[in-house]
Chain A
Amino acid sequence: MEIVKDTNIDFMGLKKYAYIFSGILSIIGIIAVISIMFGRGNLGIDFGGGTAVQLKFDKPIKIDAARDALQKHGINDAELQEFPLDNKLLIRLKKVSTSNEPVADTIISLFRQEFTANTFVVDSSIEIGPTVGKRLQKDAFTAVILSMIGIIIYIAFRFELKFGIAAAIATFHDVLAVLGVFFILNKEINLLIITALLTLAGYSLTDTVVVFDRIRDYLKIRRKDQIDVIINNGINHTLSRTLITSLTTALVLVALVIFGGEVIHDFSLALLLGVCVGTYSSIFVASPLLLLWKGGSGMMKKAA
């Protein structure tokens, strides 16, 4: 069975549309990054500090009743999220308490008091101080930068600098795009999401490297051809692999999103989005970028 057979699509001819589309995605991503840096957006408590308690009730619990109960005890700024399938309720408080009294304990005991007929177990409780949040933010930032540098060095070493930079830009684009979508959907940005972003960076690079590999091959053997023809051929000839791999990975991730449970739901969703964007970018972003560098095309031929 073969899904794509001997295609000859002029991807390079489509690059204008791709640039517009990617430009929009990147701008949204950049807005997201700036907002996050200024502490706006739905920052998880691992970055901003705060308290989260997840309770699992015996019987269904109404979110309004829970909110009323919290307000009765002076907790007004809690964010509530329910998982109706399992009678679960997630209570998040971003403000860090100034007193030493653990907020999680207060919340748990007030629910014990208010809902005597509906018993519950504590699924998880998290309290993070603001200093830790700051440090985790810094660590995540360092991790992103370091892996980018590592990857550029590796690709520059295996191919040439131009490929490395093109791959890095494409990867950055993917990370920004997914972050942007998460920002718009108002999904919580937490450590797990940063992990997903880094993983998708790895994935999107893999995709890009496979295409680049083929382009490099053709640069060696077809020295008479125009560079955009070579790039088009490279993309077309790796297209079936690109699609098959993305399809199977997406298959796996869809299973994770649907069946993996609430803890890794957003994590898998970010990866799934990442696979889609990563596939798109290896075709429509990374390869056309090789053309943008005018002086480079001659160099590329010489190097090949």
Chain B
Amino acid sequence: MKKTLKWRILLLAAATVLAVLFFLPSLPGFKSFPSWWKSVLPSKPITLGLDLQGGIHLVLGVEGDKAVENFVNHVADDIGTILTQKGINIVSAKRENVTDVVIKYSDTAKEKDVVNEMKKQYPNFSTAKDIPGEAVFSLGSSEKERIKDSAVSQALETIRNRIDQFGVTEPLIQRQGADEILIQLPGVKDPKRAIELIGKTALLEFKIVDEEGNLNTAIQGQIPEGDEVLYGKEVDPVTKAVKQTIPYLLKSKSLMTGDVISDAQVSINQEFNEPYVALSFNSVGARLFEKITGENVKKRMAIVLDGNVYSAPVIQERIGGGKASISGHFTMESAQDLAIVLRAGALPAPVKIIQNLTVGPSLGRDSIEKGLKASAIAAVLVLLFMVVYYKVSGLIADFAMVLNLIILTGALSALDATLTLPGIAGIILTIGMGVDSNVLIFERIREELRAGKPVRSAVDSGYDKALVTILDSHVTTLITALVLFMFGTGPIKGFAVTLSLGIAINLFTALVGTKVVYDYINSRTKVTKLSI
């Protein structure tokens, strides 16, 4: 008996010391702790949820069909070029619906060649329809799913890159389901800017301005074959309102896209004192850019980002050296953001924000203060009640409850769980459950005492009898807590974590914590009357 008592006291002490060590870094004064402490002992404070420290919670839907369309467009372009090179005259090669490539050709005798060439180049397409003069090829559904899937993982990588460069500490970026990306950015000060940065597709294209076509009639709808009208927006750098939009008539075919960029940096134009983005191309891009500029001297080349024309300078001469620049009416911030998205690359498909929860830092501070205040008041009320109702035994229960709180906060830090506002509520609820265990035990002990049992055996059998009930009640609560953990997101998950941890620790402190005290008292003196 004596020996197990000693071990139990040791166990309790060890758990308490460990918990305190893990919780210390969360205290405000931790910064002034000696440096040796941080190198040896835990130094990571408890993680606060978005609702407590402010930040953004975003769920993005990746429009995978757009990625498939892009791929099929590319295939249509490519097969058209190949067929022409092989001397097969085609009328057009275009994408239709999402997954179909339609090739129209004039020479019906070449039907076999068209089909064979397509089969050779793109075996993943199956022949859907084959009538004289027109061949339709469809992308297989498994291939379609693969493209969608890789679009999501690629988007995830791109967004991660952007956020890394934007500089958010401890972002959470993960895939959710088939086509969603979950992003949590704690502590972001300018949510709007961050969201714009994340959501930008950032597809950069270089297109030639069609000087021969008539811009005015094009705006009214008569767009020449192979052309498109895009707009340049002139934004006031101070108010950020659009001052005016300028239409451009461009050749639809993009000569070059942003995937050949190796670097993008912000520089300041000395003349106008305006920021611009300087681009460097990789070797492929440099060669391509030199060729394009060489072939289009004296023409204007539009720099188009996500369908908006940023600038359309006249090409003065063949440009070698693999450098170009984008100017526009940038602020320092918008130029920096543009440089980030260009460095990180374009999203393979557009994304749509389907859930956006933004919590300002002031609400977070309010919530912590109120949560802590409520917890403190609740805890004091309960502690007082127990002493009033159960006297010395109530004090022992209070001791167990305080232990419970210490170990719980320590465990939350040690497990790197996220503390949320409902999480604080979960902690408070655990206090309630802790009381329950003690009440169950004490009521049983009282019954035993009333039945005339001596103190020591009344305590022992009180614990024995209450044990089953405590176990049952804890397990049932644990079942709901676990289900909440499985299905909950964000704050609710936080609630489930604190609740389940609290229940487990409760069981430990209620059964070991208070019993140790009774056993210790009983082992020293013979108690004849129990204050309960």
Q: Which residues of A contact B (CB under 8 A)?
A: 1-3, 54, 56, 86, 100, 102, 104-105, 121-129, 131-132, 139-140, 142-143, 146-147, 150-151, 154-155, 158, 191-192, 195, 198-199, 201-203, 205-206, 209-210, 213, 237-238, 240-241, 244-245, 247-249, 251-253, 255-256, 258-261, 263-264, 267-268, 271
CA distance A58 to B362 in the complex (A): 13
Q: How far is the CB of B408 from chain A (nearest CB, A)?
A: 15
One of B210-218, B272-280, B318-326, B421-429 contacting the partner: B421-429
Q: How far is the CB of B58 from chain A (nearest CB, A)?
A: 10
Residue among A132, A237, A247, A249 with most chain B CB within 10 A? A249
Cβ–Cβ contact B59 & A259, under 8 A:
no
Q: How far is the CB of A201 from chain B (nearest CB, A)?
A: 6
The 8 closest A-B pairs by CB, nearest first: A261-B370, A129-B354, A202-B480, A249-B432, A255-B378, A206-B473, A123-B363, A259-B374
Cβ–Cβ contact B425 & A267, under 8 A:
yes
The interface bits of chain B over 297-309 (1 if a CB of A lies within 8 angstroms of the residue's CB, else 0) are: 0000000000000
Q: Which of A54, A105, A132 contacts B363 (CB 8 A)?
A: A54
Interface of A is mostly: helix
Q: Which of B59, B431, B481, B488 contacts A202 (CB 8 A)?
A: B481
Whether B483 sits at the interface, judged by CB under 8 Å, is yes
A205 nearest CB neighbor, chain B only: B476
Please list 17 pairs of residues, one from A and one from B, whose beta carbons are closer than 8 Å in the complex, sorted by A's number.
Answer: A123-B363, A124-B363, A126-B356, A129-B355, A140-B487, A146-B483, A147-B480, A147-B484, A202-B481, A205-B480, A206-B476, A210-B472, A248-B435, A251-B385, A252-B378, A256-B425, A259-B377
The interface bits of chain B over 440-479 (1 if a CB of A lies within 8 angstroms of the residue's CB, else 0) are: 1001001100000000000000000000110011111101
Cβ–Cβ contact A121 & B382, under 8 A:
no
CA distance A86 to B367 in the complex (A): 13
Cβ–Cβ contact A264 & B422, under 8 A:
yes
Determine the chain A residues whose CB is within 8 A of the CB of B381 once the complex forms: 251-252, 255
Cβ–Cβ contact A209 & B469, under 8 A:
yes
Q: How far is the CB of B179 from chain A (nearest CB, A)?
A: 11
Query: A56-B363, A248-B385, A260-B371 are contacts. A255–B480 as well, Cβ < 8 Å?
Result: no
CA distance A11 to B195 in the complex (A): 60
Q: A123-B362, A192-B491, A205-B473 are in contact. List 9 more A-B contacts (CB 8 A).
A: A147-B479, A198-B480, A202-B476, A202-B477, A202-B480, A240-B443, A245-B436, A256-B428, A263-B367
Determine the chain A residues whose CB is within 8 A of the CB of B495 once the complex forms: 195, 199
Interface of B is mostly: helix
The interface bits of chain B over 368-396 (1 if a CB of A lies within 8 angstroms of the residue's CB, else 0) are: 00110110011001100110111100000
Cβ–Cβ contact A198 & B483, under 8 A:
yes
Q: Which of A105, A142, A248, A264 contacts B421 (CB 8 A)?
A: A264
- Interface range, B side: 35 or more
Cβ–Cβ contact A209 & B363, under 8 A:
no
Determine the chain A residues whose CB is within 8 A of the CB of B377 once the complex forms: 255, 259
A201 nearest CB neighbor, chain B only: B480
Whether B10 sits at the interface, judged by CB under 8 Å, is no
Q: How far is the CB of B67 from chain A (nearest CB, A)?
A: 18
Determine the chain B residues whose CB is within 8 A of the CB of A140 once the complex forms: 487
Cβ–Cβ contact B378 & A256, under 8 A:
yes
Determine the chain B residues whose CB is within 8 A of the CB of A131 once the complex forms: 61, 354
A249 nearest CB neighbor, chain B only: B432
A124 nearest CB neighbor, chain B only: B359
Cβ–Cβ contact B370 & A205, under 8 A:
no
Q: Which of A121, A241, A260 contacts B443 (CB 8 A)?
A: A241
Cβ–Cβ contact A124 & B425, under 8 A:
no
Cβ–Cβ contact A244 & B370, under 8 A:
no
Q: How far is the CB of A271 from chain B (nearest CB, A)?
A: 7
Determine the chain B residues whose CB is within 8 A of the CB of A56 once the complex forms: 360, 362-363
Determine the chain B residues whose CB is within 8 A of the CB of A252 once the complex forms: 378, 381-382, 428-429, 431-432
CA distance A147 to B367 in the complex (A): 30
CA distance A26 to B416 in the complex (A): 41
A128 nearest CB neighbor, chain B only: B355
Determine the chain B residues whose CB is within 8 A of the CB of A155 once the complex forms: 472, 476
Determine the chain B residues whose CB is within 8 A of the CB of A86 once the complex forms: 366
Determine the chain A residues whose CB is within 8 A of the CB of B370 once the complex forms: 259-261
Determine the chain B residues whose CB is within 8 A of the CB of A191 once the complex forms: 492
CA distance A203 to B356 in the complex (A): 32
Cβ–Cβ contact A213 & B432, under 8 A:
no
Query: A124-B359, A151-B480, A199-B499 are contacts. A241–B440 as well, Cβ < 8 Å?
Result: yes
B195 nearest CB neighbor, chain A only: A102
Determine the chain A residues whose CB is within 8 A of the CB of B447 once the complex forms: 237
CA distance A267 to B426 in the complex (A): 11
Query: A102-B353, A128-B354 are contacts. A263–B421 as well, Cβ < 8 Å?
Result: yes
Whether B51 sits at the interface, judged by CB under 8 Å, is yes
